[in-house]
Structure 1
Amino acid sequence: MSVRIEASVSDVVGPVPRRLFGSFVEHLGRAVYTGIHEPGHSTSDSRGFRGDVLELVRELGPTVVRYPGGNFVSAYRWEDGVGPDRPVRLDPAWHSVESNRFGLHEFAAWAQAADVEVMYAVNLGTRGVQEAADVLEYCNHPGGTELSERRRANGADRPFGFRLWCLGNEMDGPWQIGHKTADEYGRLAAETARVMRMIDPDVELVVAGSSHADMPTFGEWERTVLRHTAGLVDHISLHAYYQEHDGDTASYLASAAALDAYIRTAAGVIDELGLEVGISVDEWNVWDLRRWNETDQPRLVAGGWPEHPPLLEDTYTLTDAVVVGSLLGALLRNVDRVTMANQAQLVNVIAPIRTEPGGAAWRQPTFHPFRLVSSLARGVSLQVSVEGDRLRTERHGEVDLVDVAATLDGSAGAVFLTNRATASTDVEIRLRGARFEVAAAETLSAAGPVSLPGAAATSDAKGTTVTVTLPPRSWSLLRLAAPDA
């Protein structure tokens, strides 16, 4: 099997936005409680933040974290999570009990400790314009009003200054609390956006797009919602989860082709309307939904209303990590349209980081491609073309045998490669316009990256040719450096 890849340092998709490497913390299962927050744990500080988790989060490298949901936000009362008196509530989204011991102030402090930007979601399910205006004033107004003074009395003298705000979550989905038609949601989102901009003109607003590409309303939902919110919002969301169906590993490994098509279809709707709106893929990951549908949900319904039960705690494999790496590549190939993205989620819930209550925290295999791409993908994303052997899949048709994304940052480059074949594949990469050496070549194992032998580069006046043999069904990376760097 062989593939030829062509790229040029002058043929650029666009700058790589740092917000492309976001994550997500929802009040779901053990994402918060015994995830990022566990008072009394041997590593926890005086605020209850698990130090072992914070250390892994810093290593992982997310730049922005979405909070507090997710489905959870569509029935959430933000006031329950501030101040000394915290009511215990039912969380109908995840059939659990929410203690509200961890709320807005705690998350703002945790985000500062983790050195991440906050992407805050407002409830447009059971609530609406007034509540969104209230929480924005509480968070961002300096002082002198009832809500801003309440924040100061609750321990935050300075405003939080959150810039990124989501206008609800997955409102196209019948499963969503407060589910609405596109017209109903579009009008509510527009009304909410107007008053939020009156309170703080500097906010960036994300309107809810489709929950997945197979929604029967996909496309028309975006048209309707964007017509209502044109000129009022900066980004529209897409959510995308992928899993292996019935042992069809080939289609699973081609999931990035589906994400490419999903993004480009949404971009086409934006262009059709003549708008300048970014795409926020603010939930994406690999997720075996059968666990929720067949195990977690029936157990919850039968067992009452537990407090932060273990939910959606998928144990990931090397194949899952390969797919995650390829999905990151799809995001990089689309940086001309994708302005931000959030892998869902950060800890315990379909997450790269797992913990035991009172015990250890550890990295899942999906941790490693995210860490490597978030640290190495800098500068600009390059246009790439692939020729050679192809792979036919049942779900996605014919796709490139090797999925590739490449970035360039001055004298340093990175190439990210997914071999979807069941056999080793010989790859030749021709990078025109610059001389490079292979500074390092790595491929994923279940425990993390290991050296990939045999990668070699030759240069001439036209550019650089790199040859490498990729292991079967693998995700690999090449670090490139100018000879005199």
Structure 2
Amino acid sequence: MTNQAVQATINASRDFGYQAWDRMILGHFIEHFHTQIYGGLYEPGSPLADEDGFRTDVLAAVRELGVPIMRWPGGNYVSDHHWYEAVGPERIPSYNKAWRVEEPNTFGTDEFIKWCRKAGVEPYICTNGGNGTAEEMCNWVEYTNGWRDTRYARQRRANGNDAPYAVKYWGIGNESYGDWQIGAKTVAEWGPYVAESAKMMRAVDEEIVLSASAVPDAEWTLALLKHAGRYLDLVSIHGYWDILHGVDNVSDYLTCMMATENPEEMIEQTRHVIATAGFTGRVKIAFDEWNLRGWHHPGGNSPEALAARERNNIPTTYTMADAVFSASFLNACLRHADVVTMANIAPTVNARGPIFVHKDGIVKRTTFHVLRMYHEALRANVVASAVSATPLAHNGKSVAAVDAIVTADESGHTAIVTNRHPGASARCLLKLDGIPLEGTLEAEILEGETPDSHNSVEQPEAVLPRRTTLSAVDGYVEIPPHSVCVLRW
């Protein structure tokens, strides 16, 4: 492959109007897996923890990202989680059959809500759609949101929380279609199960925003919407594209780039299923688990299998491939902001998360910087844009070498441009309503010395964004290879 500059044209057209987007697209996810909770955001006794056991460095990093919403407690974990075991003064440790480890239940609903309030994020609770019941789900809503003098509201008050938590966002089940889930359901079972669960949850609180586990597949999701669509606000879909759960054979940069257009395909497929079911405009998409790389957890509960989960924390995994993929993912969600109203990177800390937590501090991985750039740079409305670029090919596949999104508000415009090419700069022609841009643009660029550059405990700032200016000459701007670039005018 040559490293001659790739060519791209980005034409933002205000004639096609603006699409407001939901900040929940920048959401996050945390699960009781390995060291995400214990030894991650929650570490009582650590000199870096506050009086509630929450890591203050993690809280500060989450605030820096402007995280709007956090999905919890799973994930696979939730299919064997019973909320009532993890509230009150007498916690009941349990063996979690999803992750095959003992769960102390010292971080439960009350701790999660308290953490969310300190972090300034909206809580999003995923309920047990595995071995749980509709009754258990609605009792959980009563515990968090009940304001009358009822059994579970009284229990919350007895646990020291008089005012209702008013948890707005709820999900029914996690990947309930998969045989890897405890209590997996069939197509015939899932729709009626969700309908009954949603009906009972709404009987407790009519104002909740409710999702249910789905896939971009007509058979599963059409049946779900047929039975339960009238109760739902969202369908929940998940995507990981470098599948590593069994073998930790991390894909190289170019292989990862070949997956950068797959999330958009999933969104379009799900949009079509929603339309076919007759719920366009009424049911939206929550892409509430996403990441380039899946979590490594080889089967079994032997000491060797459990120890292998530590491989998720190898720093060389998290390169500019992860950064560029993440930007491409967010651009896809923003382009479809009329139907995608939430997305949650999975997870926030450790495993594949943008924040790596160790006993002495944190490391901000390449994806952290992408998420922070989007949080700070995006304006209120997405401008319709046509993007064309030289193909980037690898192993019989190809994607556009350049991807971009343009947003605007009353004060100006922002373009976020990703150059997926590993070694060639991108000569991008930027147009607004067909007119090439001219002059000096404020820029923030995230790039690495190589496509495999990464941050680690030893070198936490090997990859950092840099602020600069770029000149648009006859509309052309040069974007470095394997980079994410914010442009403002």
Relative to the length of structure 1, the TM-score reads 0.89
Displacement of 1:155 in angstroms is 0.8
Displacement of 1:332 in angstroms is 1.2
Distance in 2 (CA, whole Å) between partners of 1:52 and 1:166 is 29
Displacement of 1:18 in angstroms is 1.1
Displacement of 1:314 in angstroms is 4.9
- What's the counterpart of residue 350 of structure 1? 352
CA contact (8 A) 1:254 1:420 kept: no
Provide the secondary structure at the position in 2 that maps to 1:336.
coil
Distance in 2 (CA, whole Å) between partners of 1:167 and 1:60 is 27
- What's the counterpart of residue 471 of structure 2? 456
Listed one character per residue, the Cα deviations across residues 305-331 of structure 1 (whole Å, up to 9, x for unaligned) are: 89x974733531122212112211111
Listed one character per residue, the Cα deviations across residues 286-344 of structure 1 (whole Å, up to 9, x for unaligned) are: 2155x433xxx45x4245989x9747335311222121122111111111110111000
Given the alignment of the two structures, is residue 262 of structure 1 paired with residue 266 of structure 2, yes or no?
yes
- What's the counterpart of residue 337 of structure 1? 339
Relative to the length of structure 2, the TM-score reads 0.89
- What's the counterpart of residue 227 of structure 1? 226
1:372-451 paired onto structure 2 within 5 Å: 372-394=373-395, 397-421=397-421, 422-432=423-433, 438-445=441-448, 446=454, 447-451=463-467
Distance in 2 (CA, whole Å) between partners of 1:247 and 1:78 is 37
Given the alignment of the two structures, is residue 467 of structure 1 paired with residue 468 of structure 2, yes or no?
no
Aligned-residue RMSD, C-alpha:
2.3
Provide the secondary structure at the position in 2 that maps to 1:407.
strand
Distance in 1 (CA, whole Å) between partners of 2:174 and 2:251 is 31
Displacement of 1:13 in angstroms is 5.7
Provide the secondary structure at the position in 1 that maps to 2:341.
strand
Distance in 1 (CA, whole Å) between partners of 2:240 and 2:251 is 17
Instruction: Quickly say closer, same or farther: Cα 1:32–1:12, change in 2 above 3 A.
Output: farther
CA contact (8 A) 2:70 2:121 kept: yes
Provide the secondary structure at the position in 2 that maps to 1:142.
coil
Instruction: Quickly say closer, same or farther: Cα 1:121–1:388, change in 2 above 3 A.
Output: closer
Distance in 2 (CA, whole Å) between partners of 1:466 and 1:61 is 32
Runs of 4+ in 1 over 6 A off after TM superposition: 433-436
- What's the counterpart of residue 317 of structure 1? 319
Distance in 2 (CA, whole Å) between partners of 1:208 and 1:333 is 23
Instruction: Quickly say closer, same or farther: Cα 1:366–1:151, change in 2 above 3 A.
Output: same
CA contact (8 A) 1:43 1:50 kept: yes
- What's the counterpart of residue 256 of structure 2? 252
- What's the counterpart of residue 66 of structure 2? 61
- What's the counterpart of residue 284 of structure 2? 278
Displacement of 1:25 in angstroms is 1.1
1:24-423 paired onto structure 2 within 5 Å: 24-210=29-215, 218-243=217-242, 249-275=253-279, 276-289=282-295, 291-293=296-298, 297=299, 300-302=301-303, 310=310, 312-315=312-315, 316-357=318-359, 359-394=360-395, 397-421=397-421, 422-423=423-424
Distance in 2 (CA, whole Å) between partners of 1:429 and 1:287 is 32
Letter in 1 for 2:286: S
Provide the secondary structure at the position in 1 that maps to 2:384.
strand
Letter in 1 for 2:312: L
Displacement of 1:138 in angstroms is 0.8
Instruction: Quickly say closer, same or farther: Cα 1:261–1:309, change in 2 above 3 A.
Output: closer
CA contact (8 A) 1:9 1:408 kept: no
Distance in 2 (CA, whole Å) between partners of 1:310 and 1:83 is 31
- What's the counterpart of residue 458 of structure 2? none
Provide the secondary structure at the position in 1 that maps to 2:221.
helix
Listed one character per residue, the Cα deviations across residues 222-259 of structure 1 (whole Å, up to 9, x for unaligned) are: 11111111211000011011228885633421423111
CA contact (8 A) 1:443 1:451 kept: no
CA contact (8 A) 1:172 1:179 kept: yes
Distance in 2 (CA, whole Å) between partners of 1:441 and 1:391 is 24
Displacement of 1:73 in angstroms is 0.4
CA contact (8 A) 1:29 1:311 kept: no
Displacement of 1:201 in angstroms is 0.6
Distance in 2 (CA, whole Å) between partners of 1:448 and 1:79 is 43
Distance in 2 (CA, whole Å) between partners of 1:251 and 1:11 is 35
CA contact (8 A) 2:389 2:402 kept: no
Displacement of 1:110 in angstroms is 0.3
The runs of 5 or more residues in structure 1 that have no matched partner are 459-464, 481-485
Instruction: Quickly say closer, same or farther: Cα 1:36–1:26, change in 2 above 3 A.
Output: same
- What's the counterpart of residue 462 of structure 1? none
Distance in 2 (CA, whole Å) between partners of 1:314 and 1:328 is 25
CA contact (8 A) 2:147 2:153 kept: yes
Letter in 1 for 2:356: R
Instruction: Quickly say closer, same or farther: Cα 1:136–1:438, change in 2 above 3 A.
Output: same
Displacement of 1:444 in angstroms is 2.9
Distance in 1 (CA, whole Å) between partners of 2:190 and 2:268 is 23
Distance in 1 (CA, whole Å) between partners of 2:380 and 2:147 is 35
Listed one character per residue, the Cα deviations across residues 190-238 of structure 1 (whole Å, up to 9, x for unaligned) are: 001111111111011001112xx6xxxx332111111111211000011
Q: Larger deviation: 228-237 or 2-11?
A: 2-11
Distance in 2 (CA, whole Å) between partners of 1:83 and 1:310 is 31
Provide the secondary structure at the position in 2 that maps to 1:354.
strand
